[in-house]
Structure 1
């Protein structure tokens, strides 16, 4: 088997020595080409090249969720081919690794490599669905190109938190869960629309859902992890379904305390709920509009401000070695 290993040298939880060990382990079982990413978007370019080569049977991503997202967008640059879905393996190297962990892949890079080799020997793989987001036709965002996401997207409050975290990382701060918690508090204290939301969700054949402050789009469950604690924004979300949405219409201090507690104690059976919470399951097509530009994120990557984003859930998009 010929495989391409895409390595993010800035992966936060793997050292150069660990990466060398993993590379040797993988190379002992396949014809392996190793490329280290050098710029933002490089992993996407490598994924696209792998698909176009026709010779590479497998792409392995060694990095965090951002690296995985870039590789996936390269693999699916021209959309999924039902007759030849691309194959991906993930060695987690980031601080959270939501996509890998949601698939049951060990969070330790060495253990994950062993699990990949075992899965390849038994030809064990899983077909997963993904989400696509693009600018909405007829709006000022219509020229924004479509982009795939593997586990979540967010419009509004949570995307603002991620934007703050990225600003801190650019100043030299390490990406830690404590950093995220601090930015949640700061985003809440400065959020101008937390009592009256600007977001409207529209979907074919249904009345619009209006005045949302926060909208989280989930492709799987858990939504994220706080350390080793899984957090379930949309417990019913699944790689085998389309997309789920959690929307909150109010973020007053009591509401935040209630929903934060519900997230921290959430489970596969129960997520955030209440009169200000909207939960929608297995949506194939819908659009989120805002009365003013709001932060937007996909797979933990802040993508700037948007006023309208259209989402599509694609049930069979990618094969993953598990």
Structure 2
């Protein structure tokens, strides 16, 4: 088997020595080429080249969710085709590793490498659905390049929080769950549009869902993790279906307290609920429009401001080693 290992040297939970051990373990089982990323988007470029040359059977992403997202976008640059494209494997090295953990992989890089080698020997694979976000035709965002995401996207509040976290990381702060929670509080206290939503969700053949303040799009469940605690925004979401959406129409102090409590106590059977909560399951195509530009995030990566984004849930988009 010919494999490309894409290594993010800035991964927060792996040291250089650990990465060397992992590379040696993988190289003992396959013909391995290891490439270290040098700039933002480099993992995407490496994976795209692997997909286009056809000389690689497997691409392994060693890093966090951002590295995985880049690799996936590189592999799927020409569109989804699991029988033609290299398979994907993930060795988690970030602070949260939602995609890897949602697949059932260990959250430790060494243990995950052992699980990966076992899966390769036993030929265990899973073909997963993915989400695709595109600029909406006829809007000012129509020229924005399409981008795949593996576990979640968001327009509005949660993307604002991620933007704040990225600013703190640029100032030298470590990416921790405490940092995220602090930015959630600061974003809420600074939010000027808590009571009147600007987002409308439109889908074919259905009435629009209007006045949303927050919109979270899930490709799987859980939505994220706080330490070892899974958080379920859309418990029904899975890698076998299309996309789920959780929308909130109000972010007043009582509403935030209620929904935050529901998220913290959520389970695979029960997520946020109430008269201001909208839950939609297994959507293949829909568009989010906003009256004002709002931040967009995908897989925890802040992508700037958008007024309109079209989402597509693509079943059986990519084969993953599990």
- For Structure 1 versus Structure 2, the TM-score category normalised by the shorter chain is over 0.9
Q: How far off is 1:81 after superposition?
A: 2.0
Superposition TM-score, scaled by structure 2 size: 0.99
Aligned to 1:319: 319
Which shifted more, 241-250 or 48-57?
A: 48-57
| 3-state secondary structure, aligned to 2:172 | coil
- Residues of 1 paired with 2:287 and 2:310: CA distance? 4
Aligned to 2:206: 206
Q: How does 1:28-177 map to 2 (within 5 A)?
A: 28-81=28-81, 83-177=83-177
Deviations 1:208-250 (A, max 9, x none): 0000000000000000000100000000000000000000000
- Residues of 2 paired with 1:225 and 1:250: CA distance? 24
Q: Are 1:10 and 2:10 matched, yes or no?
A: yes
- Residues of 2 paired with 1:253 and 1:270: CA distance? 22
Q: How far off is 1:107 after superposition?
A: 0.2
Deviations 1:163-195 (A, max 9, x none): 000000000000000000000000001111111
Aligned alpha-carbon RMSD (Å): 0.6
Aligned to 2:182: 182
- Residues of 2 paired with 1:289 and 1:49: CA distance? 34
Q: How far off is 1:52 after superposition?
A: 1.1
| 3-state secondary structure, aligned to 1:250 | coil
| 3-state secondary structure, aligned to 1:137 | coil
Superposition TM-score, scaled by structure 1 size: 0.99
- Residues of 2 paired with 1:294 and 1:40: CA distance? 23
Q: How far off is 1:84 after superposition?
A: 2.0
Name the count of aligned residue pairs: 322
- Residues of 2 paired with 1:254 and 1:5: CA distance? 47
| 3-state secondary structure, aligned to 1:319 | strand
Structure 2: runs of 5+ lacking an equivalent:
none
Q: Is the 8 A contact 1:88 1:319 kept in 2?
A: yes
Q: How far off is 1:82 after superposition?
A: 5.2
| 3-state secondary structure, aligned to 1:127 | strand
